[in-house]
Structure 1
Amino acid sequence: MAFERALSRYDINHFTHPSLNALTIEASQPGIHSIKYGSGNLDFYVENKDAKTTLVLFHAAVPPRVNTYPVFQGLTITQNLKCNLIFVSDPVLEMNTNLGWYAGDTLRRLQDDLPKALSKVLTNFRSHEHLVFFGPSGGGFAALYYSRLFPGSWAISMNPQTDISKYSPRAVDSYLNAAWRGLPIEKAPFHHSIIDSYRKDFRNHIIYVQNLGDRTHVPRHLLPFLEATQENRSKTALFAGKWGLGHKPAPGRILSEIFRQVISSNGNWNSITSLQDADVTSTASDISSRSQKYIKSFS
């Protein structure tokens, strides 16, 4: 899959920065910020709305109909939200593979560098107090990974992979060949699973949005995550929905409502756990039974 760099699809100001160390973004500079990163760029789409909450958004695998980068998914669903916005385009798109989990490549250790870059942006948001990460699928892995590195932050992760090695072999091999010279995932120097990281105590909170009709992501990704975090179950609010068979996202109205509730909470986790659809008690076994029953209803 070949991608071309094209900023013209976004009708907004464009700023360039010579390096991560030189990155500075003033409140008066909303738009796309391209940071020289290795032989390519790390691209942010930034909107500072002088809000207390900042939402960082990661994209999922780029569909075949899209052949340009950078990619900023979620612009429409977030346009009316009262929060600051930072959309991040995965630099791996420059390597002509459509999914990279924001895990970097041989010359660019994004899992080390991105937290530093985000911290630089956040220091220029004077009203910023609460940090939230969002991503679907592969971007959901990124939301879980990076949120853990920012104590006190929240992750909204929709149908995420929690262990990249358990995802589609074709997609994983495409990424490894493009970014890590074909190294086996166990030998490539990046974190491909967040299960062990979350098995220990963690200082962030998670809103896990999962379609119960997903035959692969429930058993391979959600259930191991719930098992690993059982001792800290109250830190994960599970929103499990019945949205059809397969890797189906939550309907926009549901996702929009979650965003609004998170923003209006002002960092109060109890306000999220008290929501009608928030589940902070069900075990992996409970969810497995519900998922299997729902999937069987289609046969």
Structure 2
Amino acid sequence: MGMRSRNETRWNVPFHHYASLEAFLAAPLQVGGNTFRHHGREIDVLIENRRAATTLVVFNGAIPLNVQYLPYFTGRGIAEDLGLNLIAVSDPVLAHRDMTVAWYLGDETTGPLRPILVPAIQHALEQLGADQTILFGASGGGFAAAHYAPYFPNCTALLVNPRLTLERRAQDKMATYLRLAHGLDSNGAMTSSVRGLLADFGPTDLAAVAQHGLNHDLLIYQNFFDSTFLQHHLLPFLRVAGAGPRCYVRFTHDGHGHVPIPPATIREILDVLASDRTAAVDAAGFSPASEVSNLTGQFLPEIAERLDSLGKENRRLGRERDALEVQQVKLQERVADLRSRSDALDDKIRVLNRRVEHLRTEPPLWRRMWHVVPRSFRERLQRFIRRKHA
């Protein structure tokens, strides 16, 4: 089992090292990388202070498997563009080389991460002194943002196409997490024993927590054509926890499947949320989740149009497929004809080869003619030749 290496220099900021979480909490805030040791593992928090009224706290989603180094931070570009303070948290469990997402839960080495990261983030927020806090994450990072948000009352949690449960459609990633983080070989199914193992690390289904009420604004941005996350994450979550007054949803169409949100869109949303404008949530395009049935109704004409378009495209592709199949049949017939003609030519070549071999082994013409001359004539000719040479 390999581990990722550390490389701090690639971030082009100073790194400040602390012997423990307690040492970090006792020290004045330092901008740049802040690394403290916890149970033998480095935990990294990147802090950028722009003296803004809003601080963006970013949890990364799944990272590419070929990422070789930690720490891994996201959110720097958008925070700089919008002039926001930034607290970017690197998930230390991603030190396991074969792991791409760990949801900021923790592992056997770190123990549960929430009791460690929450005070570290709170310390940074207090030192930055901003009026507003936005926790942000996409996909698996959205799970982490929603998980941590209750510990920052009155914050805004902005989730983009988020994973909202580890109970469904997570078996492959969960199997990897359980094997590397907890030494448990399983198929990734959420059994009672797995729930018991993870009980101290965090919830496996965020709806079970949110249904008791939210102490923060929860904003969920969902691509309507990301069918897996819509059907298995958002809609089940809303059925349980969507009636609360602080849960909001924005549906959109960014393409089919689990595709990233367009950078311009997330910048627009964060810019509005970070402003002092009243009704910023509504201005950012979010509506109360309790109106989700009405929201989905708004998309029905577009869905019908897209389905019709997909049907036309499918029929066009069907016609092309049929034409290709006809061409394939003709090509197969042509190949069969050429193969038959080739076999016939091979037969002729074999006959000619046998004839050539026969001609090569036949005696000369004079010898063949000698045998057809009458015997008496041959004997007289032989006596004549002997007398002539005598």
Report if aligned partners of 2:76, 2:86 keep a CA contact under 8 Å in 1.
no
In 2, Cα distance between equivalents of 1:192 and 1:279: 26
- Is the partner of 1:43 in helix, strand or coil? strand
- Is the partner of 2:56 in helix, strand or coil? strand
In 2, Cα distance between equivalents of 1:51 and 1:78: 10
In 2, Cα distance between equivalents of 1:13 and 1:284: 50
Q: 2:222 aligns with which of 177, 191, 210?
A: 210
Quote how far apart the aligned CAs of 1:181 are. 2.1
In 2, Cα distance between equivalents of 1:32 and 1:56: 14
Quote how far apart the aligned CAs of 1:260 are. 0.5
- Greater percentage in helix: 2
Are 2:254 and 1:243 equivalent residues in the alignment?
Answer: yes
Quote how far apart the aligned CAs of 1:82 are. 2.4
AA aligned opposite 1:293: I
Quote how far apart the aligned CAs of 1:167 are. 3.1
1:225 to 1:285, Cα distance in 2 relative to 1, 3 A: farther
Cross-structure match for 1:279: 287
Q: 1:111 aligns with which of 110, 114, 132?
A: 114
1:244 to 1:260, Cα distance in 2 relative to 1, 3 A: same
Quote how far apart the aligned CAs of 1:274 are. 4.2
- Is the partner of 2:22 in helix, strand or coil? coil
- The one-character-per-residue Cα deviations of 1:226-274 (angstroms, maximum 9, x if unpaired) are 1122321x412212111111111211111001110111137x5x22224
Q: How does 1:10-89 map to 2 (within 5 A)?
A: 10-24=11-25, 26-27=28-29, 29-89=30-90
- The one-character-per-residue Cα deviations of 1:122-167 (angstroms, maximum 9, x if unpaired) are 2212x32211100011100011111122110110101111101213
The unaligned stretches of length 5 or more in structure 1 are none
Cross-structure match for 2:303: 293
In 2, Cα distance between equivalents of 1:225 and 1:81: 31
Quote how far apart the aligned CAs of 1:106 are. 2.4
AA aligned opposite 2:287: D
TM-score (norm 1): 0.90
TM-score (norm 2): 0.70
Superposition RMSD on alpha carbons, in Å? 2.3
Q: Which has the larger radius of gyration?
A: 2
Percent identity over the alignment is 27
Aligned length: 293
Greater length-normalized contact order (CA 8 Å, ≥ 6 residues apart): 1
1:194 to 1:4, Cα distance in 2 relative to 1, 3 A: same
In 1, Cα distance between equivalents of 2:161 and 2:73: 19
1:192 to 1:288, Cα distance in 2 relative to 1, 3 A: farther
Q: 1:253 aligns with which of 264, 272, 292?
A: 264
Q: How does 1:108-147 map to 2 (within 5 A)?
A: 108-125=111-128, 127-147=129-149
- The one-character-per-residue Cα deviations of 1:12-56 (angstroms, maximum 9, x if unpaired) are 1111011111114535x3111111121211101101111221110
In 1, Cα distance between equivalents of 2:154 and 2:209: 16
